[in-house]
Amino acid sequence: MNAEDTEHESPGEWFKLGSQLYFYGWANEAETDFEKWVVLDVAAYKLLVERAGGLAAIGTKRQNRIHGRASFFAIPIEKLRPAFVYTYRDLGRA
């Protein structure tokens, strides 16, 4: 949820994500390049989450209190691997 527990609360990206692919990356310390990145098949990702029993069943709910009030589910990388299309560098074990 965006702005969770406020008057501006609204559905988050999970409810709006309509792309076929999703890029997620981690910047290097100098913020000049990506250290690691992954391209996710969105349909495979959503099916994976659904088959696991939903976001709460596959991840841990967290809330960003530093920059806004968005809530999200932290999902271990290993659980998402079946939805990976491409990766750059080994993402290791989470």
pLDDT in tens, 17-70: 888 999 989 999 999 999 999 999 999 999 999 999 999 999 999 988 777 778
Number of independent structural domains in the chain: 1
Domain assignment present for residue 76? The answer is yes
Domain assignment present for residue 4? The answer is no
Helix (H, G, I), strand (E, B) or coil at 75: coil
What pLDDT, on a 0 to 100 scale, did the predictor assign at position 94? 43
What pLDDT, on a 0 to 100 scale, did the predictor assign at position 27? 92
Which residues constitute the domain of residue 63? 13-88
Name 24's bridge partners.
38
CA distances from 90 to 15, 44, 75 (A): 29, 21, 17
Domain assignment present for residue 7? The answer is no
CA distances from 58 to 9, 10, 79, 86, 89 (A): 23, 22, 8, 22, 24
pLDDT band per the 50, 70, 90 thresholds, residue 92 = low
Domain assignment present for residue 66? The answer is yes
Tokens 């209190």 belong to residue: 65
Q: What is the rounded distance in angstroms from the CA atom of residue 68 to the CA atom of residue 75? A: 20
What pLDDT, on a 0 to 100 scale, did the predictor assign at position 90? 67
Domain assignment present for residue 1? The answer is no
Query: With 70 as the cut, is the pLDDT of residue 93 above it?
Result: no
DSSP label of 80: H
